[in-house]
Amino acid sequence: MSIAGLAVLCLASQLSATTWTPPKPTVVVSQDAYLLVRIEPGSNRVQSPPYVAPFSVGNAQAIYFHYDEESGSYKQYQSVTLANGSAPADSILKDNGVLVTIDSWGPSTGPAVAIYSPIGELVAAHTLSDLYSEEVVEALRWNSAAGAVSWRKSELRLRFRHDSVLVFDRFGNVFDFDINDGSFDYRGDNPQVLGQ
C-alpha cells in the first residue's frame, strides 16, 4: 500500500463533524512579553493564492504593540492587513516582531503558513499544495469536517528555534520554516530528536 493510501485510511478514521463559531479577536505575546499583537478578524471567507500585498480591506488585521517602560503600558506602533480573510487559526510572535500565522479560522480559505517580517511585510505564504503532494492534500480535504482542513498536530505548540519556526503535522513529522525567506525543510524525525 502506498504512503498516500495509508494516510487516507488513517485520516478517514478521524473524520468528525465540526461547527464553527465566528472568529473572535485574539492576542499573541512574544516570549519576552515586550511585544504583543492583537488580531482582529476580517469579514472575508475566501482567499486564493497568490498571496500578494496589498490584501483586501476585509481581511484580518494585526495590530502591533510594544511595552513602554515609562508609562508601564503597551503602545500601538503598527497595523498590518493579513493574508488571512477571516482570522488565523493559530499564530506565534518572536521577540523581534516576526509574526507567523497558521491556517484560517473555520471553513475559510487562506494560507496554511504565512510569515511576516518585524515591519509587517509578508515574507512568505504557503498553501497546503506547497507543503504536500496533491494526493495528500486531496486526502486531507476529503477527511476534513465543515471545510476546515486538519493537517497540523494542534496539541503540539508552534515554537521558534533560532531563525526558524517548527510546525508539527498530523503524520508525526515537522516542518522547519526559515523566518527570513520562508523556505522550509520537512523532516520525518520524531520531534523529540530535534531537541524539543
CA distance 115 to 121: 8
Does a structural domain hold residue 2?
no
Asked, for residue 85, whether it belongs to a domain, the answer is: yes
Residue 8, domain member (yes or no): no
Amino acid at 53: A
- Mind giving me the DSSP string for 27-82? EEE-TTSSEEEEEEP-S-----SS--SSPPTTS-EEEEEEEETTTTEEEEEEEEE-
Q: What is the CATH number of the domain that holds 95?
A: 2.40.10.480
Q: How many Å apart are CA 147 and CA 157, to the nearest integer?
A: 23
pLDDT score at 126: 93
Per-residue confidence (pLDDT) for residue 12, from 0 to 100: 44
Reported as a single tens digit per residue, the pLDDT across 70-100 is 999 999 999 999 988 788 989 999 999 999 9
Q: What gap in Å lies between CA 21 and CA 100, rounded to an integer? A: 23
Q: How many domains does the chain have?
A: 1
Cell 496554511: give the residue.
112
**Which ranges of 78-169 would DSSP assign to H, the alpha helix?**
128-131, 134-142
Using a cut of 0.75, tell me whether the model's pTM lies above it.
Answer: yes
Flag whether 14 is in a domain: no
pLDDT of residue 52: 55
138 found inside a domain? yes
Does residue 82 lie within any of the structural domains? Answer: yes
* CA–CA separation, 55 and 42 (whole Å): 11
- Whole-number average pLDDT of the chain: 80
Which band of pLDDT confidence, cut at 50, 70 and 90, is reported for residue 101? Answer: very high
Widest Cα–Cα separation across the chain: 64
- Residue carrying C-alpha cell 478514521: 13
Q: Which helix (H) or strand (E) holds 125?
A: strand 122-126
**Better-predicted residue by pLDDT, 153 or 55:** 153
- Report whether pLDDT(23) > 90: no
Q: Are 193 and 176 in contact (CB under 8 A)?
A: no
Domain residues for the domain of 52 are 20-194
Whole-number Å distance between alpha carbons of 81 and 122: 10
pLDDT at position 11: 45
Count other C-beta atoms under 10 Å from residue 116's C-beta: 26
Asked whether residue 3 is assigned to any structural domain, the reply reads: no
**Residue 184 — pLDDT band, cuts 50, 70, 90?**
very high
Residue 28 lies in a domain: yes
- Residue 109 contacts residue 166 (beta carbons within 8 Å): no
